[in-house]
Amino acid sequence: MILVVDRTQRNLELLVQFLSKNGYQALTGASLEEFDHILAEPQKIALALVDIGGFDRRIWQRCERLLEKQVPFFVLAHSQSATLQQESFSHGARGVLVKPLAIQALLGIIRSLCVESA
């Protein structure tokens, strides 16, 4: 199961379609409240993709909860910056993926982390 968090409904739909087409199931959250609800459930999450755009600083608390639950996650961002990368790593991210996403690279990351968590 892959968790996808994004404030933009269309982005969620596109990522879920991509994941489904490649044989993965996805959970989605479009708000901090939905993210909290998912984190409170006992389901096994192999990986999380968290688009921080549109969220306030409280998103980092949820990312730290992913880390506590030993769920690897990547931050999705509109641009690359050293500050964002440093903050993402300090909150436990495995990396920052800049949009638009390189599909083959994303698929490689998903495959390697899903195998790792199995």
pTM for the predicted model, two decimal places = 0.93
How far is it, in rounded angstroms, from Cα 76 to Cα 54? 12
How far is it, in rounded angstroms, from Cα 4 to Cα 64? 16
pLDDT range class, residue 118, cuts 50, 70, 90? low
pLDDT reported for residue 114: 80
DSSP assignments along 24-57, one per residue: --EEEESSHHHHHHHHHS-----EEEEE-TT--T
How far is it, in rounded angstroms, from Cα 34 to Cα 38? 6
- Residue percentage of the chain with pLDDT more than 70: 97
Over residues 2-8, the mean pLDDT reads: 96
pLDDT range class, residue 43, cuts 50, 70, 90? confident
Domain residues for the domain of 43 are 2-117
Burial (0-12, 13-18, 19+ Cβ within 10 Å), 83: exposed
CATH number for the domain spanning 62: value is 3.40.50.2300
- Count of domains in the chain? 1
pLDDT range class, residue 116, cuts 50, 70, 90? low
